[in-house]
Amino acid sequence: MTKLRHYDHAGTARFVTFSCRHRFPVLRDPTTAAAVIAQLRVMREACAVPILGYVLMPEHVHLVLHPPDDVALGRLIGQLKARAAREILSSLQSDRDRIPPELTILGRGVRQHAVWERRCYDHNCRTPAAVREKINYCHNNPVQRGLVNNPGDWMWSSYRWYQGERDVPLEVDSIFPP
């Protein structure tokens, strides 16, 4: 497997995408989506990572964030995914007493579970216009996929925050006025 290169310490905002294992729609359940939101909040506060925009889709996540220069993006996202996976798997085991086969891995005779694909993909946003473009992409993703007619109808994004609403799942650190 080729190692993806992250260009850390560039002083730029980053557009990050990571997917659920086998694109299984783990995040269509509000409980599992809320687990990711909770871990985004932890990452934002504990690691001082401004989150500029986001969207949780049923089978993937897009983030626009501005990691501090001393933080390696791959490690940061890996920690976020690991914490969220533990919470999601715990929820799946307790609420439904079963984990979907799409999230099961059999290796060396041992059954394990994975919520996420191993990699994340990122793009450096070198200009404010690029940051705005990626935030807009996040907000319009549910509309493009036909999940809602209006970006404001999708609960799991930063769109409503940018529209001035404050009763949202996750506040963002907007760098643009609403």
pLDDT digits (tens, 9 = 90+) for 89-108: 998 887 555 788 888 888 77
> The whole model's pTM is what?
0.89
Q: How many domains does the chain have?
A: 1
27 within domain boundaries: yes
Distance between start and end Cα atoms, the chain = 42
Per-residue pLDDT, 89: 92
**Is 80 exceeded by the pLDDT of residue 66?**
yes
177 within domain boundaries: no
73 within domain boundaries: yes
Q: Which of 172, 175, 177 minimizes the C-alpha distance to 43?
A: 172
Per-residue pLDDT, 71: 85
5 within domain boundaries: no
6 within domain boundaries: no
- CATH code of residue 46: 3.30.70.1290
Helix (H) / strand (E) containing 123 = strand 121-125
Q: What's the mean pLDDT in 108-114?
A: 84
Cα gap 152→148, rounded to integer Å: 9
Q: What's the mean pLDDT in 131-147?
A: 97
Contact 101, 5 (CB under 8 A): no
**Is 60 exceeded by the pLDDT of residue 8?**
no
**Is 90 exceeded by the pLDDT of residue 35?**
yes
* Domain span holding position 78: 13-162
Contacts of 47 (CB under 8 A, 6+ apart): 67, 68, 71, 76
Which range among 87-101, 107-121, 150-164 shows the weakest confidence by mean pLDDT?
A: 87-101
